[in-house]
Amino acid sequence: MPELPEVETVRRELEKRIVGKKIAKIEVLEKKQFLGDPKKVVGREIKSIWRRAKVLVIDINGLILLVHLKMTGQIIYLSNKKRLVSVGHPLPFILNQLPNKTTRLVINLDDSSRLFFNDLRKFGWFKLLTKKQAEVELADFGPEPLGKDFTLRYFINSLGRTRRVVKMALLDQRLVAGIGNIYASEVLFAARVSPRRQANSLSDQEISRLYRAIKEILSEAIDYGGTSAADQAYVRPDASPGRYQNKLGVYQREGKPCYSCGGIVKKIKQNNRSTFWCPGCQK
């Protein structure tokens, strides 16, 4: 679920709420989803929170906590001021129901606030690592699409020379980090490129359109707090949904009219994953 915009939204909201606090207690409810010794995080101050690709990188003063939400992971923050806040402002239902049956991890902070890691499908993970181990773990990712290293020259030289189908290439985290199944379809639609094209058949102009679409769409999706699909597997740390689902051009719009040409949006399978696109617009 969470792709770059969703993970970045989580990062920003956690940064505001938990940096500077100390970890008072950690309860691991699903052992296989926490790699390392949970006792080692207790007492440590949360120094900073970064993001690399779809991974949260939490500096806990000497050690690094890497977090991957995979398909259904969520991190919910519950402040110690729950009662005060809820007077006249009912909390989202989920906040009154924590922990719930999908809660895999609970972290108590030293101001009595708590973090809940919920993950229905149990694919997500926390890894407690040294700085060096974390660097190794993150070493294979390609450039951040919103960072300086992601240049048009790089994209022409990498995407333009791979012989793969362009949709699959966009999902390759070594080529460019952070794009997932939703935004791959959205980027291709915005750039008017067919998801079936071989990447090395794309003109420089088409790669340039993809390049701009990646930057624009990911940036806008972050501004909108990410995409919460129908099942709301993704929610922000305050349990509210993102708003980018209202801006989607083709994803989950199979059979509906294209906003651009009025033609019908199609759904196809590529390597066993759904791709949504408009054959009228995308060539």
Residues tagged active-site: 2-3, 54, 273
CB of 79 to DNA, least distance (A): 24
Tell me: does residue 120 bind DNA (CB under 7 A): yes
Token pair for 181: 């199944």
Token pair for 158: 């990498």
Tell me: does residue 28 bind DNA (CB under 7 A): no
Tell me: does residue 31 bind DNA (CB under 7 A): no
Among 44, 111, 123, 146, binds DNA (CB under 7 A): 123
H-helix or E-strand spanning residue 128:
strand 125-130
* CB-nearer residue toward DNA: 24 or 268: 268
Tell me: does residue 236 bind DNA (CB under 7 A): no
19 neighbors 48 (Cβ within 8 angstroms): yes
* CB-nearer residue toward DNA: 6 or 59: 6
Among 28, 71, 98, 264, binds DNA (CB under 7 A): 71
CB of 88 to DNA, least distance (A): 30
Tell me: does residue 61 bind DNA (CB under 7 A): no
Token pair for 97: 């129901």
The residues, any chain, with a CB within 8 Å of residue 133's CB and separated by 6 or more, are 64
Please give the Cα distance from 121 to 119 (Å, whole number).
6
Tell me: does residue 143 bind DNA (CB under 7 A): no
- Length of the chain in residues, anyone? 283
53 neighbors 4 (Cβ within 8 angstroms): yes
Please give the Cα distance from 257 to 149 (Å, whole number).
37
Tell me: does residue 133 bind DNA (CB under 7 A): no
Tell me: does residue 195 bind DNA (CB under 7 A): no
275 neighbors 269 (Cβ within 8 angstroms): yes
Tell me: does residue 186 bind DNA (CB under 7 A): no
Please give the Cα distance from 184 to 189 (Å, whole number).
9
Please give the Cα distance from 137 to 131 (Å, whole number).
10
* CB-nearer residue toward DNA: 19 or 156: 156
| Site stretch for DNA (CB under 7 A), options 19-27, 107-115, 147-155, 266-274 | 266-274
Summarize as ranges the residues that interact with DNA (CB under 7 A).
Answer: 1-3, 6, 32, 53-54, 68, 70-72, 101, 120-123, 162-165, 168, 171, 173, 180-182, 226-234, 242, 269-274
